[in-house]
Amino acid sequence: MNISTDPWVWIAAILTLAIFSFLYKENPLYRFAEHLYVGIANGYAITFYWHRVLVPSFFDRVGAASTPIATKIWLIVIAVIGALYFTRFIPKVSWLVRIPIAIVLGYACGASIPRAIDAEIIRQAKATIITRASFAHWQTGLWAVIILLGVIATISYFFFSSERKGVLKPLSYAGIIFIMIGFGASFGYTVMARISLFIGRLQFLLGDWLGLIK
């Protein structure tokens, strides 16, 4: 056993145990650790946004003599529009918040929609097409067929425009099976993820703190 002498390791270990104490029951120690975490996370982010974004991209450029006047005016106009987000706190002029929101939404939608159609619909649909190359190996061929069947069956399950009879009935039933398999896989992976996070904390407590892991 080789217990750490680093005070930061001790602080982290005590806070980890404080968070774990919630498993027994809700308590002030847990709430303290939770609030501390939220506070530190916000403080950390604000500091970086200030020093790494606002200062170099705005204040330094506006203050620099070498920056052309036109650029300075643009920067100030953009900053004023951005500052309109804070009008939410003033009820009389809170409607002004719609201006920066509209600009951000418009920009993001314009940039995203064409690319998302290509990446998320066209490329994904293309991946379900079975070609001769899919059967280069029997396993890849089998998976290609299963994927195609799974896509058709799952989509047919969400086809609500007509009653489920005829071909649609067995297809949508097969769709449920594919969906359930998907949920099962997601659940299994979720269990694995949560256990992994717990292992990570125990690696820290038993290894970095108590020195029990060799």
Partner 1 sequence: MEKENILIRLQRIDRRWIYLVLWLVVMIPLIFPFKIQPQPTPSVEKLFNYIDTMPENKALAISVDFTPDTRAELQPMVVALLRHAFATQHRVGILTVQVYGLGLAEEAIRQVTAEFNANANTRADSVIYGEDYVFWGWTTPVLTVMLGMGERITNVFPIDYYGNRTETLPIMQHIKNYDDIGILVTIAASAIPRSWINYAQTQFGVNLSCGITAVSAADFYPYVNSGQFIGMLAGMKGAAEYEQLVRERMVKNGMEWVLRNRGTEAMSSQTAAHLAIMAFIVIGNIAFFATRRKRK
Which residues make up the interface to partner 1 (CB under 8 A)?
23-24, 41, 44-45, 48-49, 52-53, 56, 107-108, 111-112, 115-116, 118-120, 123-124, 126-127, 147, 182, 185-186, 189-193, 195-203, 206-207, 212-213
Gap between the Cα atoms of 190 and 183, Å rounded: 10
Other beta carbons within 10 angstroms of residue 209's beta carbon come to 19
Q: What is the dihedral of CA 81, 85, 88, 94, to 10 degrees?
A: 20
Nearer to partner 1, 92 or 137 (CB): 137
> Judged by CB, which is closer to partner 1: 93, or 130?
130
Give yes or no for a contact between 210 and 3, defined as CB atoms under 8 angstroms apart.
yes
DSSP 124-171: HHHTT---GGGGSSHHHHHHHHHHHHHHHHHHHHT--SS-S-TTHHHH
Q: How far is the CB of 92 from partner 1 (least distance, A)?
A: 30
170 or 182, CB closer to partner 1? Answer: 182
What is the nearest approach in angstroms of partner 1 to the Cβ of residue 84?
Answer: 17
CB of 211 to partner 1, least distance (A): 11
Residues ≥6 apart with Cβ < 8 Å to 150: 178
Q: How far is the CB of 25 from partner 1 (least distance, A)?
A: 9
Is 156 in contact with 172 (CB distance < 8 Å)? yes
Closer of 73 and 113 to partner 1 (Cβ): 113
Question: Quick one: 95 or 107, whose CB is closer to partner 1?
Answer: 107
